[in-house]
Amino acid sequence: GENVEQHPSTLSVQEGDSAVIKCTYSDSASNYFPWYKQELGKGPQLIIDIRSNVGEKKDQRIAVTLNKTAKHFSLHITETQPEDSAVYFCAASGNTGNQFYFGTGTSLTVIP
Amino acid sequence: EPEVTQTPSHQVTQMGQEVILRCVPISNHLYFYWYRQILGQKVEFLVSFYNNEISEKSEIFDDQFSVERPDGSNFTLKIRSTKLEDSAMYFCAILAGVPNEQFFGPGTRLTVL
C-alpha cells in the first residue's frame, strides 16, 4: 500500500516568515494530495489540495507544489501569522472514493 | 464546505462494553469514511462505505467493528467489545461533490477505561 512520510515533525517560525512542510509518497498511482490543518480538539480541515496533472497551486498565502517524478509534494505558507499555529497533515489518495493515507503530521508554531 | 456533525463529542466506557459513534452529514453524500487518531499520532483509515455497503477497510477494522447507515441519514460506527487500545479520536468524513475531496467531522473522543 501507500506510504506517506512527512517532515519536519515540529517547526517554529517567527511571525511573518515562511514555513515549508515536505511529504513523500511511495505509490505512483496516487494522484490526489490534500493538506489538512488540525487545531487542538478539532477535526482536520482541508486547506489546499493538488492533483497529479498540475505542478503547483496557490491560494493566497498558501501554496502546494508537486513533483511526480520524485514523488514528493510540499506545503508553503508565506507571511505566517500566529493563527497558522496548528498541526498540518499531508495525505495521498488514488481514485475518487479511495482512502487517504496520511503523513505523521507537523506541529507548526508561529512565534509573535 | 460540507458540514458533518458527530455525536457524542466524548464517550467514556469500560473495557468490554459496546459503543456506537454517530455521524450526521447535513446533506446527501455517497461516500462515508471512518478514521481514527490515537493521541499524538497520525490519522488512520478504518473503513469506507459506499452505496450502503463497505467499499474498503483497513487491517484495523476487524470483527469487533461494524458500520451501518440505519435510517439513510445517520452513519454509525459500532465497536462491539472495546479494548484499552481503542482509546482514540474517531473522525467521520464524507466525500464532497468535487472528486476526492473529503471533509471531516469534529470527532468523537473515545476513552476506554
Give residue-wise pLDDT tens across range A16-31.
999 999 999 999 999 9
pLDDT for residue B4: 86
- What phi and psi, each to the nearest 5 degrees, are found at residue A9? -80, -30
Residue/partner pairs of A67-72 with CB below 8 Å, 24 or more apart: A68/A28, A70/A24, A71/A24, A71/A25, A71/A26, A71/A28, A72/A22, A72/A23, A72/A24, A72/A25
CA–CA dist A53, A50 (Å, integer): 8
**Cβ separation B45–A89 shorter than 8 A:** no
Q: What is the mean pLDDT of chain B?
A: 90
- State mean pLDDT over A85-111: 92
Mutate which of B30, B102, B103, B109 to test chain A, going by most A C-beta atoms within 10 A?
B102
pLDDT for residue A107: 96
A-chain residues within 8 Å CB-CB of B44? 102
* Cross-chain CB nearest to A98 (options B41, B42, B56): B56
**Cβ separation B50–A93 shorter than 8 A:** no
pLDDT for residue B26: 62
C-alpha cell at B14: 469500560
pLDDT for residue B1: 66
